[in-house]
Amino acid sequence: MRFRRWAIVGAVLAMGIAVQAGAAPATIQQPRAFGHVLGDVLTQRLLIGADELASAPPTGRIDPWLERRTPRVETDDAGQRWLAIDYQIVNVPRTLATVHLPALGLKARSGNEWQIAEWPISISPLTPDSVAAQGDLQALRPDRQMAERPTAAPQKRLQGWLGTLALTLAAWLGWWLWRNQREAVRLPFARAWRELRRHDRAAIAAQPEAWHSLHRALADTAGSAAQAATLAGVLARAPHLQALQPQLEDFYRCSSERFFAAVPKREPYPLRELCLALRDAEKRQHAGA
């Protein structure tokens, strides 16, 4: 009788434990068990409801094949909270093999505990160790032949662009030549420079015509006869020549000595350089106007 009584008590306790364990069964969503390769991420989901984990499971490499990531909490469309645990495949065997997501015990702050059992999965390499070497199943494939693309239309567009560029450059060159030619006729010092270039460079200072050309250019710039005494008026009318005032004063002095002195001096004078400097100053003035 005593043995029977203890047997009944044991059976009742076992039923109580079974009822308690079945009162809050763990709801787990397991990942697909097959068809996984290197780099795949598998996710286990545990329904936790309003509970919070007392401590998170350890992360990092857990075996030769798998690495556990930091768990996270997700909420589905129905408002239920799930604990998501990711496992990434970081290594694979040479042939198809079965490995296991590890068993895991988790505890909530409320005192609830969940047990996640091992879950088998199959993993395989991305490519086989060797190929069949039959037909088109070869270790190396030939280079892929690229289809030829029509080039007539791009070539036609390129020719059009090059033609437009050539016309633009020709128009610019024509304008530049026309502008220089016009300035050589219209601008006083440009005319003087063109006239001086006709004379012998070594003996230009000895040519009276060269001096006359520069005098005419100064008179045309002043709008009237220009002399040493009226140089200030010339510079007031043409302020772009003020930087050359010392050279112009020296020019008038040397010109007076050359043409009006009792004994004309024949010293070398940089007439060509002065005319070029005046021409450049005149050119800059009209270019910026």
Report the pLDDT value the prediction gives residue 271, as an integer from 0 to 100: 86
Q: How far apart are CA 226 and CA 238, in angstroms?
A: 12
For residue 198, what pLDDT is reported?
81
pLDDT of residue 263: 64
pLDDT value for 289: 58
Kindly list the distances between the CA atom of residue 214 and the CA atoms of 189, 226, 247, 260, 276, in Å, as whole numbers in the listed order. Answer: 7, 11, 13, 17, 10
CA 263 to chain centroid, in Å, comes to: 75
What is d(CA 16, CA 24) in angstroms, rounded to the nearest whole number?
A: 13
Q: Are 200 and 271 in contact (CB under 8 A)?
A: no
List the pLDDT tens digit at each of the 289 positions of the chain.
443 443 333 333 333 333 333 334 689 999 999 999 999 999 999 999 999 999 989 999 999 999 999 999 999 999 999 999 999 999 999 899 999 999 999 999 999 999 999 999 999 998 877 776 777 777 777 788 888 888 888 999 999 999 999 999 999 998 877 776 666 567 888 888 888 888 777 777 778 888 888 888 888 888 777 777 788 888 888 888 889 889 988 888 888 888 777 666 667 788 888 888 998 888 888 776 5
User: What pLDDT does 1 receive?
Assistant: 40
Distance, in Å, from the CA atom of 214 to the CA atom of 191, rounded to the nearest integer, reads 9
Name the residue type at position 250. Answer: D
Q: How far apart are the first and last CA of the chain?
A: 129
pLDDT at residue 284 in the model: 85
The predicted pLDDT at position 161 comes to 94
pLDDT of residue 180: 67
